[in-house]
Amino acid sequence: MPDVHEFLDILKASGVKLWACKLAMDMFHYKKEDMFDDIDGVLTVGDFYKQGNGEGTHMLFI
């Protein structure tokens, strides 16, 4: 089983988009610089729903 960073690298290499949750970041006082280097951005809940709008979209919220 790969460690977290290796798993995220595998996901990115496979074309997966990774976004951080703005609410969680605000609650824990994280900045984008604290996140995995290759995240695609920081989303609000509303932004998350907009990203999932469309045929063939698969999303996983962790």
pLDDT band at 55 (very low <50, low <70, confident <90, very high): confident
Residue 3: pLDDT above 90? yes
Phi first, then psi, for residue 58 (nearest 5°) are -120, 130
Asked if 12 and 18 touch (Cβ cutoff 8 Å), the reply is: yes
CB atoms within 10 A of CB 30: 15
Asked if the model's pLDDT at residue 61 lies above 70, the reply is no
Q: What is the pLDDT of residues 6-47, one digit of tens each?
A: 999 999 999 988 889 999 999 999 998 999 999 999 999 889
